[in-house]
Structure 1
């Protein structure tokens, strides 16, 4: 790579092509050959939305414009690649028009950074502060392989990814005060929120290749992009009347996004990467991370998050707020949110992302085939201690039948959500069995926030089955018989897995659980013993799974 870190032609992005070839190339080659790229090779799941939003999508949208109708969107999909004229537009955009804006180590205008940025105290910190999984400052992961005293050398390609990751996901609280920032005091800036992505439950639809993924993440805007909307590398073209601070300087402002391009490339931090020369070329070893622009609120036009809808918000509360993911759950357990295509009729509830709703509309117009291999990537970070540290990372992928996103035809969506509900109910029945056995043995129920529950093991054992079911339902079409066979197979799998867990619990129960004990509750005597607990469980399981045969369970129920 050149000394200035050329992103357009330098080896900065690693891809896995549709033929399995792994290659590292520049931004221009990745985009113009996007139809040959199966996926991007990235270190962590949270990197995908950061790279899409801060680099790939805004380049494509600004260079080519957004589709204004579903028909225009469908025409792009049918081509299956960027046309020759679009390739030329991308080339002109990244070379003659803005080529000098995509240099990572440029002295005057480094990409997504502030040239000459200095801390008020004159200090710099290890590049490890850009990587949440490495110990740095207050953020001390339990299994970090490095300490803050160890030197971390990032290649230009690694530095680019973690730079974009910091703009999207950086922790909150105190940041280094920047020289020239009038809002910095005593060498620091306080009250910083997390990066914009850290406030979302990120949902990214993915296609069969990078070209389709970019298209699936492109909103259809009837009026096109706002004339005043510019990405961060073209900030000097923004209207002065907007009142925003230049992201190439140390000052920052609290403001709403001026449009889609501004939102995607929002500069939530002021950063400068510092390099040293090594035998292998330039390496980033130090960094300065200061306060950046603060997004006053996540606009409802944000394409990459689901929402929590509040029917009667309190004074000053928004009716719709980003809905974050819950750790410890597979993506399919959250299908109730992903498939929430309409606002709750009464009360509060989830509302899925703009892009998934758009995909459903495209399917309704036959712009997407019913058997299209749609996938969904979800990711998020869990923060702790005033959001100043990262406690957990969430990442999962899921096949999703596009027919389940049809707003006016909910037959497949209803069947999928019923399958998810059955697994959840079977899990609760197992937890109740476990608690009843503990009581029968003279103990107490498992505390809500402690210990591993049988339901967790059940969900884990059903994970592969559910993903196989969802992948199979992509091609179910209008075949009701095939759908019913799939539901029967699912219920049989759930029953078999639940019975295995139940038998393990019963086998582990001590002999005194057979005799049991009596507890008084509200003046009534309740008998707890293993036989009674097993009978209740098997009866409940039969109610939950009506299509499953009971022959395999009858012996167990009789023995209980």
Structure 2
């Protein structure tokens, strides 16, 4: 096979997708938009890669359709009308002629192997020693021996399509830390480029609204901002090609700029028709670690008390917490100003702009098909000083669109209260586990494993409960959910009681605040009951029972398997 001299992302397949019939396929940019393939969504090599590639597709879509927002003097762009047309075109699977024309206009900037301006690269990037690190550098799993599990020539090289996907991913999510010092970059000291932070997407909580097809997904993740942004908001392929140095005063100009932010300077090295090496140097730093960079419509933002002052409120993009993610992601996703009680000096965060846009949808076809929004949440977390990749958040959540409306504040408050109540009840189980240890003669130690197991057990049920929540019957639904939580926590507590052992049943005296009391498995369970009443305030008043409580069980009863 002859060596390739060009690899055009417009015509060559590089985007890994899943078709609506479940089969996998690799497509070009043209094939995504020409209506010839029924594509359900992206199916790349990792969740963060899917998000990074989606953002490139969105930048193409946004920039191509920006002309649609240009109206005659004295008139106002009607985003709802535009979205209605774009939505029906996507549902029908029609070719997007506007995007295809745009791709043709910028075709030469989408060539991975172009000698002067290769896609998202610097053509002559080099170090003083002309180093060429292995291609494994840009594949996160490769740095933990991923490549050793890949056979043959794939061990040290990548085909052009996969290399392109990881190239896009590196700009979006690369970790901080020392980089190779590029010749021509004045920031280099002693041959090294010192840390400038992660890629932009690595700072954010990626929030994708999923449609039934990839084309629908592109429309759903388009809010007014990207279409109304000024001409200075340009993706990388509409700017002058970068050199090894940072752009002068590189402040993000808008959504398309951020979606293709060049956080690194990169050069791919080829041998024949495969990529075998890559040089990664520092690129454009996000100013002030992302403070008040509001151009990204797909991430929530958090208020920073420490960085804010009397004259300026400061917000940062908010990534999703990998720890107990389900229970901590709801507030940044759904809350509006006034939904959450805040301490003095605090401000509400900002939910993704895309969710605000859909909350106001008036098109009946769109509103009916999106009565429940299917969300994919994607975040990366990093090690100390963000100098290595740690874990990835990839979660799905269905949210009734009606609860996002400005007038649904009371329902949102109730949903957030139920999530908090679930977390509190699960924490109470961890406390109960610690008290059982004390009753058996040990030292108290909060049993986080019991809490995490309980939350994991409840997570799918909570997702299903939220997806079918009817705001018109929210009060009854809230009570029903807290009853579910109480039952599940009690069931788990009874299992712990059965394994507590005879010492915990007998108990021991403990001294606390100059008082001596007897702590047994039974008294620990009684305290759990009180804790649950406090954590789950919507529970009906308890009824007196003639059955004996766990505090009066015999040891034989507590250790008998059900």
Contact persistence 2:84–2:363 (CA under 8 A): no
- Is the alpha carbon distance of 1:519 and 1:153 closer, same or farther for their aligned partners in structure 2, counting shifts above 3 Å? same
CA-to-aligned-CA distance 1:18-46 (integer Å, 9 cap, x gap): 23343222111112339932111122111
Q: Which whole-Å CA distance do the structure 1 matches of 2:410 and 2:368 have between them? A: 17
Q: Which whole-Å CA distance do the structure 2 matches of 1:546 and 1:554 have between them? A: 24
* Per-residue deviation, 1:290: 0.8
Query: Who is 2:12 aligned against?
Result: 10
Query: Who is 2:119 aligned against?
Result: 111
Q: Which whole-Å CA distance do the structure 2 matches of 1:500 and 1:386 have between them? A: 42
Matched, 1:126 2:143: no
- Is the alpha carbon distance of 1:35 and 1:411 closer, same or farther for their aligned partners in structure 2, counting shifts above 3 Å? farther
- Is the alpha carbon distance of 1:527 and 1:14 closer, same or farther for their aligned partners in structure 2, counting shifts above 3 Å? same
Contact persistence 2:39–2:214 (CA under 8 A): yes
Contact persistence 1:307–1:320 (CA under 8 A): yes
Q: Which of 528, 539, 555 is the equivalent residue of 1:537?
A: 528
Query: Who is 2:99 aligned against?
Result: 90
* TM norm structure 2: 0.85
Query: Who is 2:417 aligned against?
Result: 418
* Per-residue deviation, 1:452: 4.5
Q: Which whole-Å CA distance do the structure 2 matches of 1:203 and 1:115 have between them? A: 33
Query: Who is 1:385 aligned against?
Result: 384
Contact persistence 2:80–2:362 (CA under 8 A): no
* Per-residue deviation, 1:530: 0.9
Q: Which whole-Å CA distance do the structure 2 matches of 1:84 and 1:538 have between them? A: 56
CA-to-aligned-CA distance 1:496-530 (integer Å, 9 cap, x gap): 32122101211121211122223333323343221
Contact persistence 1:364–1:406 (CA under 8 A): no
* Per-residue deviation, 1:558: 5.7
Matched, 1:522 2:513: yes
* Per-residue deviation, 1:455: 1.1
Contact persistence 1:271–1:289 (CA under 8 A): yes
- Partner of 2:12, secondary structure, is coil
- Which range moves more in the overlay, 186-195 or 365-374? 365-374
CA-to-aligned-CA distance 1:356-409 (integer Å, 9 cap, x gap): 222223369996338534112212222123211112222211111111211222
Q: Which of 235, 244, 253 is the equivalent residue of 1:250?
A: 244
Contact persistence 1:204–1:376 (CA under 8 A): yes
* Per-residue deviation, 1:330: 3.4
- Partner of 2:158, secondary structure, is coil
Q: Which whole-Å CA distance do the structure 2 matches of 1:74 and 1:87 have between them? A: 14
Query: Who is 2:51 aligned against?
Result: 49
Query: Who is 1:242 aligned against?
Result: none
Contact persistence 1:132–1:390 (CA under 8 A): yes
Contact persistence 2:371–2:402 (CA under 8 A): no
Aligned residues: 530
Contact persistence 1:35–1:211 (CA under 8 A): no
Q: Which whole-Å CA distance do the structure 1 matches of 2:433 and 2:419 have between them? A: 21
Q: Which whole-Å CA distance do the structure 2 matches of 1:364 and 1:441 have between them? A: 63
- Is the alpha carbon distance of 1:472 and 1:35 closer, same or farther for their aligned partners in structure 2, counting shifts above 3 Å? farther
Query: Who is 1:239 aligned against?
Result: none
* Per-residue deviation, 1:212: 2.2
Q: Which whole-Å CA distance do the structure 2 matches of 1:338 and 1:490 have between them? A: 20
Query: Who is 2:315 aligned against?
Result: 320
- Is the alpha carbon distance of 1:499 and 1:201 closer, same or farther for their aligned partners in structure 2, counting shifts above 3 Å? same
- Is the alpha carbon distance of 1:320 and 1:506 closer, same or farther for their aligned partners in structure 2, counting shifts above 3 Å? same
Query: Who is 2:255 aligned against?
Result: 260
- Is the alpha carbon distance of 1:212 and 1:347 closer, same or farther for their aligned partners in structure 2, counting shifts above 3 Å? farther
* TM norm structure 1: 0.86
Q: Which whole-Å CA distance do the structure 1 matches of 2:118 and 2:208 have between them? A: 28
- Is the alpha carbon distance of 1:556 and 1:274 closer, same or farther for their aligned partners in structure 2, counting shifts above 3 Å? farther
CA-to-aligned-CA distance 1:448-506 (integer Å, 9 cap, x gap): xxx64211111111122112222323xx3x642xx456445533432332122101211
Alignment of 1:257-406 (within 5 A): 257-277=252-272, 282-297=273-288, 298=290, 299-310=293-304, 313-314=307-308, 319-342=314-337, 346-348=344-346, 349-362=348-361, 368-369=367-368, 372-406=371-405
Structure 1: 5+ residue stretches without partners: 136-140, 237-245
- Is the alpha carbon distance of 1:356 and 1:444 closer, same or farther for their aligned partners in structure 2, counting shifts above 3 Å? farther
- Is the alpha carbon distance of 1:34 and 1:327 closer, same or farther for their aligned partners in structure 2, counting shifts above 3 Å? farther
CA-to-aligned-CA distance 1:279-316 (integer Å, 9 cap, x gap): xxx22111011110112143123212212224674559
* Per-residue deviation, 1:235: 0.7
CA-to-aligned-CA distance 1:174-208 (integer Å, 9 cap, x gap): 11111222332322111321111122222222222
* Per-residue deviation, 1:542: 4.5
Query: Who is 2:204 aligned against?
Result: 200
Contact persistence 1:331–1:397 (CA under 8 A): no
Query: Who is 1:156 aligned against?
Result: 160
- Is the alpha carbon distance of 1:109 and 1:508 closer, same or farther for their aligned partners in structure 2, counting shifts above 3 Å? same
Q: Which whole-Å CA distance do the structure 2 matches of 1:9 and 1:559 have between them? A: 72
Contact persistence 2:430–2:449 (CA under 8 A): yes
Q: Which whole-Å CA distance do the structure 2 matches of 1:554 and 1:360 have between them? A: 51
Q: Which whole-Å CA distance do the structure 2 matches of 1:554 and 1:154 have between them? A: 70
Contact persistence 1:70–1:362 (CA under 8 A): no
